A and B are shown apart, each in its own frame.
Chain A
């Protein structure tokens, strides 16, 4: 069982308290009506399915209830960082071309 550091509680808690909520940094378009069909389809369905470091959303559902983001290596299952919703991924985790 993984230990996951909730950035709001500022402590590592067991995986049982959390729920994975899919890939992070997929923003809802501000003007959905203006989005082309292909853009909307991408927003709805297309995910990076990364082998390696993936930025994903987690929710401390049986804790503070907050949504936050995490950088997790999908190969080793290691958490490299967790950070609050709305923040950018901490520097040094992603390669420059992927940095968000």
Chain B
């Protein structure tokens, strides 16, 4: 057994020894140890190097407030977790941990040179030092030289390189009472609240077991109360106790986020177990029983390994049976440290002295100490410490009546316990926007007015035993040159008392500014041990009261939380929902390449063996125009609109006239917003007097549906109209090309497909291959075309039947890329690609669609705003490259001259650009200021390879008379 283990006692299981590795060295601990307690039991204090100066650091605390002992735990190459607090890591067999921020080794760290250049690393050193020179441009030197160096030198652990193989669960929960903290106060609150068995109570405890301070020290009475209470709570079905669970965020209306750690403490976690679970709890009442954190004392060289919080040392000795040293000096401004000293003394630790800042500790304490043979120095302070990798001695100073310090000798030691008093944990309370009140007697901010249905109990509310009250905030006097002394306030970010004094001298008077300038309280511990001391220093430097300075804002998370917890199951394929059409499997079987369109997976093109995308798209375009092509258009947004006022509603929403549209006919509709800008388009067919089948763009489906709902519910409430989204109801297969009719004829029943009986822009209901269909004669390719709507469940079946027929006519399947090329050849625009939300119907060349006799429709008034009627607006036109093989790209700017002067405004830009295999040249459309009036003129598109001259034309490149549509 280790020399630093007590003989008996504590909550470790001495029958279950565990071996673990720290920086490669194998050590022994017990079940129930934390990594910190196991290291201390092995005599190891040095566990890390500090952030900025790379100073040797040891374990300072025993809980989540630990600022120093940050380590990396490695299970395997993918399971590497940096920056864990050793005080929170439950030991398991085979645990492998590493220290951080040191090179080449923890004991010999070259980064410690920073300590020698420390005078240059004071508050705001980044801002002061790394400003120039500006020889490489204003920012280059920072980005190229300083930042990479600083990021390497000032650091925490290294993030794992492999994706996280674990999974994380998520759970929503409701309860009447949520208790945060499972110490005495929290358990009492849970016990009372759960007496009524109808009251659902959740208790979240950060540590592995409930009990709080009672786990360290409890009278027989207290111990039996604890076991009785836990048994009672366990027996109540209305109580859920979550251990290893931190409440890390408080949100509006008692919505609390919990992180439950499920497997990190296990040597062999079940393969299918989630590592952590995110609880999102909505509670009727929230009880904060979050306890209090002991403050360090700010004295010179107070950061050496072996210097720790007094209460933490007591916890290690009594709860874990781990003695943090053999010869301890106790330095305190709070009575609890006496109890810690006595407890350690009973465990066999030699208490060299108790140094008390105060002239008079609690009644009888000094006498009790002396009775145990412990020298007590009242009105005294520590003026410095020695020891490189572990504290070796302290220098005592006696406070003189004039405010000075008189040297009073050195004391050898290997452990220093410090206690500056206790700070109630008000983080969650404050996140909930509760108001904090300053309590001068406790030297603490306490919960004042709570958010509705919240309360604080126990030490978090300032309800502490007399011994815990009082203490100091700020720095201890030391009588040395203040500018040269390193008395740490924020241990994790290496902020000293002098840094805060410097910030105050340099004019940073707001605590929020001091925080950002010095970085105090900005480390991953959010200043749990440092905030009050830095506040005290600022108040002293500015000669103000603490409440006049105020606190910085508490933010979530209370302690660091894994990214995995937030991601939950929303990773990889489950990151976003995936929408597949009913025909998807057939497209995959046909070897389609897919593209993402919003959430949809759409067939992009269908490569034959040996074809690249370019070759496949060219073939698809040519085949469709010469024979026939099949296209899965199921993603089109579809809305069924019905009711006696359906036509009137369309009249008010779309530009076009609808009232006279005959049953069985369809029209290309254009939708604007109130500002007069085009926002959607689609073909709308009339099924009956009071029923329309509307199509929208794929991306606009939900937006249009929502917009219709808005107008129906809040503006046009006089209309009797109902709409239903039928996007997923119908599969849509476009059959396009001169052979389209031949493909359909053998399959369609009950519909006369002849040119005369079923003209372009018409709609028929009937059957295809025995399945009911809404058959549209429409074309987005410029060829004779049909769109076959069938119930989604039959989509795949009908696609396969159509494909069998299409093959007989030399047809092809085509994807979205060929669809785009074909529509561009024909001059059909895509809303959202060729328009950008600032184009009026006239800009887009669509004003022909406007119902001229309509009194009003959405967008009509907006179009008439002066700016929208102005001359020289950007208009959508065709752009013909003079060199038919020019490498033109969408997004290219269009300018008036081949060599535009610097700063010359562009006339517009290219919105669509494709290689047209049918035309044998590149085609483009774009917006150009006053474009239609400039038809025939030459403009220029500057591209990386040179300027490309373009002639402005009509956007229609293929079959301008539309004869093929009417075939």
* Residue positions of A touching B, CB distance < 8 A: 1-3, 14, 21, 28-29, 31-33, 35, 37, 40-41, 43-44, 57, 59, 61, 65-67, 76-78, 85-86
Interface: B566 (CB within 8 A)? no
* Segment at the interface with A among B4-12, B249-257, B764-772: B249-257
In the complex the two chains form, is A37's CB within 8 Å of B865's CB?
yes
The docked-state distance in angstroms from the alpha carbon of A1 to that of B283 is: 12
* Segment at the interface with A among B212-220, B375-383, B641-649, B854-862: B854-862
> CB < 8 Å: which of A33, A40, A85, A86 contacts B865?
A40
In the complex the two chains form, is A44's CB within 8 Å of B253's CB?
no
A-B contact pairs, 30 of them (CB 8 A): A1-B251, A1-B255, A1-B280, A2-B252, A3-B252, A3-B255, A3-B282, A14-B282, A21-B710, A28-B674, A28-B715, A29-B861, A31-B856, A32-B856, A33-B855, A33-B860, A33-B861, A40-B862, A40-B865, A44-B674, A44-B862, A57-B714, A59-B710, A61-B706, A67-B713, A76-B433, A77-B252, A78-B252, A85-B714, A86-B714
Interface: B866 (CB within 8 A)? yes
The docked-state distance in angstroms from the alpha carbon of A85 to that of B675 is: 23
The docked-state distance in angstroms from the alpha carbon of A78 to that of B432 is: 12
In the complex the two chains form, is B710's CB within 8 Å of A86's CB?
no
Residues of A contacting B853 in the complex (Cβ-Cβ under 8 angstroms): none
The 3 closest A-B pairs by CB, nearest first: A32-B861, A67-B713, A1-B255
- Measured CB to CB, the nearest residue on chain B to A14 is B282
> CB < 8 Å: which of B706, B717, B856, B862 contacts A86?
B717
B255 → chain A closest CB, angstroms: 5
Inter-chain contact count A-B, CB under 8 Å?
A: 53
Residues of B contacting A86 in the complex (Cβ-Cβ under 8 angstroms): 714, 717
Interface: B709 (CB within 8 A)? yes
The docked-state distance in angstroms from the alpha carbon of A32 to that of B255 is: 45
Residues of A contacting B855 in the complex (Cβ-Cβ under 8 angstroms): 33
B675 → chain A closest CB, angstroms: 5
- B residues 286-310 touching A (CB-CB < 8 Å): none
In the complex the two chains form, is A37's CB within 8 Å of B713's CB?
no
Residues of A contacting B713 in the complex (Cβ-Cβ under 8 angstroms): 66-67, 85
In the complex the two chains form, is A1's CB within 8 Å of B674's CB?
no
In the complex the two chains form, is B865's CB within 8 Å of A32's CB?
no
The docked-state distance in angstroms from the alpha carbon of A2 to that of B282 is: 10
In the complex the two chains form, is B710's CB within 8 Å of A67's CB?
yes
The docked-state distance in angstroms from the alpha carbon of A3 to that of B675 is: 33
In the complex the two chains form, is A67's CB within 8 Å of B714's CB?
yes
In the complex the two chains form, is B709's CB within 8 Å of A67's CB?
yes
The docked-state distance in angstroms from the alpha carbon of A3 to that of B283 is: 12
- Measured CB to CB, the nearest residue on chain B to A31 is B856
What is the interface size of chain B, counting residues whose CB is below 8 A from a CB of the partner? 23
The docked-state distance in angstroms from the alpha carbon of A65 to that of B860 is: 28
The docked-state distance in angstroms from the alpha carbon of A2 to that of B252 is: 6
B268 → chain A closest CB, angstroms: 37
The docked-state distance in angstroms from the alpha carbon of A61 to that of B282 is: 21
The docked-state distance in angstroms from the alpha carbon of A78 to that of B280 is: 20
In the complex the two chains form, is A40's CB within 8 Å of B710's CB?
no
- Measured CB to CB, the nearest residue on chain B to A35 is B861
- B residues 677-731 touching A (CB-CB < 8 Å): 706, 709-710, 713-715, 717
- Measured CB to CB, the nearest residue on chain A to B709 is A65
B170 → chain A closest CB, angstroms: 13
- Measured CB to CB, the nearest residue on chain B to A24 is B714
The docked-state distance in angstroms from the alpha carbon of A3 to that of B453 is: 14
Residues of B contacting A66 in the complex (Cβ-Cβ under 8 angstroms): 713
The docked-state distance in angstroms from the alpha carbon of A9 to that of B682 is: 34
B931 → chain A closest CB, angstroms: 26
Residues of A contacting B251 in the complex (Cβ-Cβ under 8 angstroms): 1
- Measured CB to CB, the nearest residue on chain B to A21 is B710
A46 → chain B closest CB, angstroms: 13
B435 → chain A closest CB, angstroms: 12
In the complex the two chains form, is B253's CB within 8 Å of A3's CB?
yes
In the complex the two chains form, is B860's CB within 8 Å of A32's CB?
yes
The docked-state distance in angstroms from the alpha carbon of A18 to that of B709 is: 15
B865 → chain A closest CB, angstroms: 6
Considering residues B860, B861, B862, which has the most beta carbons from chain A within 10 angstroms of its beta carbon?
B861
The docked-state distance in angstroms from the alpha carbon of A65 to that of B280 is: 25
Q: A3-B282, A86-B714 known; A40 and B861 CB under 8 Å?
A: yes
Considering residues B709, B717, B866, which has the most beta carbons from chain A within 10 angstroms of its beta carbon?
B709
Considering residues B252, B675, B855, which has the most beta carbons from chain A within 10 angstroms of its beta carbon?
B252
Residues of B contacting A37 in the complex (Cβ-Cβ under 8 angstroms): 865-866
In the complex the two chains form, is B253's CB within 8 Å of A33's CB?
no
- Measured CB to CB, the nearest residue on chain A to B861 is A32
In the complex the two chains form, is A41's CB within 8 Å of B865's CB?
yes
Residues of B contacting A21 in the complex (Cβ-Cβ under 8 angstroms): 710
Residues of B contacting A78 in the complex (Cβ-Cβ under 8 angstroms): 252
The docked-state distance in angstroms from the alpha carbon of A59 to that of B711 is: 13
Residues of B contacting A61 in the complex (Cβ-Cβ under 8 angstroms): 706
- B residues 431-462 touching A (CB-CB < 8 Å): 433
In the complex the two chains form, is A43's CB within 8 Å of B674's CB?
yes
The docked-state distance in angstroms from the alpha carbon of A48 to that of B862 is: 21
A50 → chain B closest CB, angstroms: 19
- B residues 51-96 touching A (CB-CB < 8 Å): none
- B residues 227-280 touching A (CB-CB < 8 Å): 251-253, 255, 280
Residues of B contacting A77 in the complex (Cβ-Cβ under 8 angstroms): 252
The docked-state distance in angstroms from the alpha carbon of A61 to that of B709 is: 10
Q: A40-B862, A41-B865, A67-B710 known; A33 and B856 CB under 8 Å?
A: yes
How would residues 843 to 874 of chain B score, 1 for a CB under 8 Å from any chain A CB and 0 otherwise? 00000000000011000111001100000000
B862 → chain A closest CB, angstroms: 7
In the complex the two chains form, is A1's CB within 8 Å of B714's CB?
no
- B residues 411-441 touching A (CB-CB < 8 Å): 433
The docked-state distance in angstroms from the alpha carbon of A14 to that of B710 is: 21
A13 → chain B closest CB, angstroms: 11
B727 → chain A closest CB, angstroms: 16
A21 → chain B closest CB, angstroms: 7
- B residues 386-409 touching A (CB-CB < 8 Å): none
The docked-state distance in angstroms from the alpha carbon of A41 to that of B713 is: 23
Considering residues A2, A32, A40, A41, which has the most beta carbons from chain B within 10 angstroms of its beta carbon?
A32
- Measured CB to CB, the nearest residue on chain A to B253 is A3
The docked-state distance in angstroms from the alpha carbon of A31 to that of B862 is: 13
The docked-state distance in angstroms from the alpha carbon of A69 to that of B710 is: 13
The docked-state distance in angstroms from the alpha carbon of A78 to that of B252 is: 8
Residues of A contacting B715 in the complex (Cβ-Cβ under 8 angstroms): 28
- Measured CB to CB, the nearest residue on chain A to B856 is A32
- Measured CB to CB, the nearest residue on chain B to A45 is B675
Starting from the known contacts A3-B252, A28-B674, A32-B856, 8 additional A-B residue pairs (CB-CB under 8 Å) come to A29-B861, A32-B861, A33-B860, A35-B861, A40-B861, A44-B675, A59-B706, A65-B709
The docked-state distance in angstroms from the alpha carbon of A35 to that of B674 is: 13
The docked-state distance in angstroms from the alpha carbon of A35 to that of B860 is: 12
Residues of A contacting B282 in the complex (Cβ-Cβ under 8 angstroms): 3, 14
B436 → chain A closest CB, angstroms: 17
In the complex the two chains form, is A1's CB within 8 Å of B706's CB?
no
A18 → chain B closest CB, angstroms: 13
Residues of B contacting A2 in the complex (Cβ-Cβ under 8 angstroms): 252-253
Residues of A contacting B856 in the complex (Cβ-Cβ under 8 angstroms): 31-33
Residues of A contacting B706 in the complex (Cβ-Cβ under 8 angstroms): 59, 61
Q: A85-B713, A86-B717 known; A1 and B252 CB under 8 Å?
A: yes
